[in-house]
Structure 1
Amino acid sequence: MGGKGSKTNKKKNPAELTEEEIQLLLNNTTFSREEIIKWHEGFIKDCPKGQLDKKKFIDAYQAFYPQGKADKFCSHVFKVFDSDNSGQIDFTEFLIAISVTAQGDASKKISMAFRMYDVDKNGKIDKKEMEKIIEAIYDLLGEEHRKGENSPSERVKTIMSKLDKDQNGYLTEDEFVSGCLEDSVLRALLAPNA
């Protein structure tokens, strides 16, 4: 009777792709069912347990930017992709992020960049947060010329003066998105895939 085996508290194996997840991805990305299944096969080949941790994520990024230091920048990116704050990126989080960065429209990509730059998640980007991101981008790209107008603090002053329409010392998501959409130079720096 009510023995140990009678409860069905079986947790889903993170390496399995359920029909529910496929439906979620079909509704939130532009990928077809076949593409989702192919992406999943590749993800599981690289992450057999169905989870991508921060270290593996940074290692993967480092392969694309061997001349730079990817860890600071990747920490910001990882936080955005890890939508449930589990310290792991599962396949669904991964593919939604890929979809937005690879296929999303410009404003969606810029919104994702805003969430990455909003380090303390308060819905605003202040000068300090923007400076940390510029430094992380410079590290990633291996940029060594950081003096004069190319210094992170000068770069931030320029960005803030262009985007902070109400001059209150921080950027809202609306200010950030509309400013980047209007200025191709800023868009290339702050949201290069948009």
Structure 2
Amino acid sequence: MGNTSGSSVAELQACESHQWYRKFMTECPSGLLTFYEFKQFFGLKNLSITSDSYVRTMFTTFDMNDDGFIDFMEYVAALSLVLRGGVQQKLRWYFKLYDIDGSGCIDRDELLLIIKSIRAINGINYEISAEDFANMVFDRIDINGDGELSYEEFMEGIQKDEILLKMLTESLDLSHIVQKIQGELRGNK
């Protein structure tokens, strides 16, 4: 069969894949996760309109074939990214997540909207306001000063700036959601 040690499935096996599969199939017996089930699955309830919009954008980025559902393989790929993805993989996903309108660039309003939504979902107070963080990102990496971050500007700029990389990675850390699910899985043994 060949070496699959780098594949999503192999990585997920290290994370109790049979339990993940059981939870996935328990939550969505059809094998297709809808947006509503996605929110239920991750315990995201009573979200503001902004946060709900962010979660929808996240759902869309995980729905790789754009069919309106997340199947088990898309779910595996998403978990693999969250749990084991490298910096470049995560940055590519972050860019797609921030580019709400799919224009191929991130503008200040898109970045600010996502930052505010993430903070609302995480429920964490940060030392720097969402507005100041968005301004810092643009001040540091919008090389041509056009008010938009191209994919190249984003990837290069974030990777070259350790402070922004750390802040971005911490703000999009979904491990607390994964830990919650793992706790539920252990409780259901």
**TM-score normalised by the chain length of structure 1:** 0.71
2:60 aligned partner: 79
Report the count of equivalent residues: 165
- Structure 2 spans left out of the alignment, 5+ residues: 175-189
Of 148, 160, 171, which aligns to 1:182?
Answer: 160
Distance 1:141 1:178 in 2: 27
1:153 aligned partner: 131
SS state of the match for residue 158, structure 1?
Answer: helix
1:37 is displaced (CA, Å) by: 6.3
Percent identity of equivalent pairs: 25
1:51 aligns with 2:32: yes
Distance 1:162 1:83, change over 3 A: same
Of 10, 20, 23, which aligns to 1:32?
Answer: 10
1:136 aligns with 2:117: yes
Distance 1:34 1:174 in 2: 30
SS state of the match for residue 32, structure 1?
Answer: helix
Of 85, 89, 95, which aligns to 1:108?
Answer: 89
Q: Max radius of gyration: which structure?
A: 1
Q: Is the 8 A contact 1:62 1:68 kept in 2?
A: no
Q: Is the 8 A contact 2:12 2:76 kept in 1?
A: no
1:28 is displaced (CA, Å) by: 7.7
Distance 2:62 2:126 in 1: 30
Of 48, 64, 75, which aligns to 1:94?
Answer: 75
Distance 1:127 1:175 in 2: 14
Distance 2:40 2:164 in 1: 28
**Amino acid in structure 2 at the alignment position of 1:142:** G
Distance 1:108 1:55, change over 3 A: same
1:185 is displaced (CA, Å) by: 2.9
RMSD: 3.2
Q: Is the 8 A contact 2:8 2:77 kept in 1?
A: no
1:173 aligned partner: 151
Q: Is the 8 A contact 2:8 2:76 kept in 1?
A: no
Distance 1:68 1:162, change over 3 A: farther
- Structure 1 spans left out of the alignment, 5+ residues: 1-22
Distance 1:144 1:102 in 2: 24
1:8 aligned partner: none
